[in-house]
Amino acid sequence: MKKVIVRLENFCKSYENKEVIKDINLEVYEGEFLTLLGSSGCGKTTILRAISGLDPVTSGKIYINDVDVTNLDPQEREVNTIFQNYALFPLMTIEDNIGFGLKMKKVPKEEIKKAVKEMMELVHLEGYEKRFPSELSGGEQQRVSIVRGLINNPKVLLLDEPLSALDMKLRKQMQIELKQLQRKFGITFIYVTHSQDEALSMSDRIVVLNEGKIEQIGTPTQVYEKPKNLFVANFLGDSNIFKGKVIDDGEAILTEEGDVFKIDKTPRGTLEEIYIMVRPENIRVSFDKPKGNHVLGKVYEKSYNGSMTKILTKVGKKVMTVMVFGNDCPFKRGDEVYLSWDVEDQIYVNGDSDEE
């Protein structure tokens, strides 16, 4: 059985009588990489700051390693926090920045020096010991910030959008490095981001947040391939969604647009009205009319990104997104095309957005 390292019980947070976190219950397991994912203002950073002790809770309890830390100061909690702006001391050298936490714990100088050396080697910053933060690139500063948090061997490392200020190439590289560091140390990471790509590529589990509520908790595969509701389906990646009514004794649906699609099951038993979603990568594009579930549309935009071409197609009043992989994409703006997919690639989605 997995050990719970952080637990939030009926956690609520309000600012000036405005409720921003609404009665959240959450368990974080020891050694996992958990991501709090959501758009700006959804409450993800508020949760992180409450766990760290930087912000008091309005009501509820927070436990770290089975200890009630709700009213403890930040320095009394076994957590470290890494911020987006690195928060390095500008007048300290890199080695002093990394070793600062150990110095505050009155660890002997030789032990600090050895630990700092090991950390700097780990993130390939050997020889930078006497430099100052202003002499480092953004990626190098973030590496310093990360190992400064790890050197204290906390129970939990809290990371508040640490990669958002980096360019895309460096961000991708740092995602790999962060995951490798997390595995190496076995420390629980609670990671805040608005980036679906970061969450899907790095996490063991993802908590999808919306307006202070948890919409879904699951592995990257679960939240992407089996979204609990329309919000999650739309928030994680591109989605093509049809609303319809079940017909033919549960064998098909009639969509609002008048199309009839075969279905392989009726979700939750006997719903009359359902939503089905098809991801862009599961849709085929052709000039010839296919068998099975399909619609007819007109290409009105396309964009090439190297490994695939994204095609936007107007189907009546609906815009559908399709991914065509490879370099050979014969479809041009203005072309009439058929979009088709397999029944097993349809995802059945609950229209409600709730916490259950």
pLDDT values of the chain reduced to their tens digit, one per residue, 356 residues: 889 999 999 999 999 888 999 999 999 999 999 999 999 989 999 999 999 999 999 999 999 999 999 999 998 999 999 987 778 899 999 999 999 999 988 999 999 999 999 999 988 899 999 999 999 988 899 889 999 999 999 999 999 998 887 888 888 988 999 999 999 999 999 999 999 999 999 999 999 999 999 999 999 999 999 999 999 999 998 999 999 888 887 788 888 888 899 988 655 455 567 899 999 999 999 999 999 999 999 999 999 988 899 999 999 999 999 999 987 889 999 999 999 999 999 998 887 654 33
The pTM for the full model equals 0.90
Residue 158 contacts residue 151 (beta carbons within 8 Å): no
Residue 356 is predicted with a pLDDT of: 36
> Which of 10, 120, 15 is CA-nearest to residue 70?
10
Neighbours of 332 (CB within 10 A): 10
Round to whole Å and give the CA distance between 262 and 280.
19
Residue 187 contacts residue 154 (beta carbons within 8 Å): yes
Residue 265 is predicted with a pLDDT of: 66
Residue 267 is predicted with a pLDDT of: 58
Q: By three-state DSSP, how is residue 275 classified?
A: strand
Residue 271 is predicted with a pLDDT of: 59
Name the residue type at position 115: A
Backbone angles phi, psi at 20, to 5 degrees: -105, -25
Which domains are seen in the chain, by residue range? 4-230 (3.40.50.300), 238-349 (2.40.50.140)
Q: Please, how many CA atoms are within 13 Å of residue 302, restricted to the half-sphere of its CB?
A: 19
Round to whole Å and give the CA distance between 148 and 159.
12
Round to whole Å and give the CA distance between 325 and 327.
7
Backbone angles phi, psi at 291, to 5 degrees: -85, 165
Residues 6+ away with beta carbon under 8 Å from 54: 74, 81
Round to whole Å and give the CA distance between 244 and 259.
9
Residue 8 is predicted with a pLDDT of: 98
> Which of 263, 280, 247 is CA-nearest to residue 349?
263
Query: Which run of H or of E encompasses 232?
Result: helix 230-235
Residue 289 contacts residue 297 (beta carbons within 8 Å): no
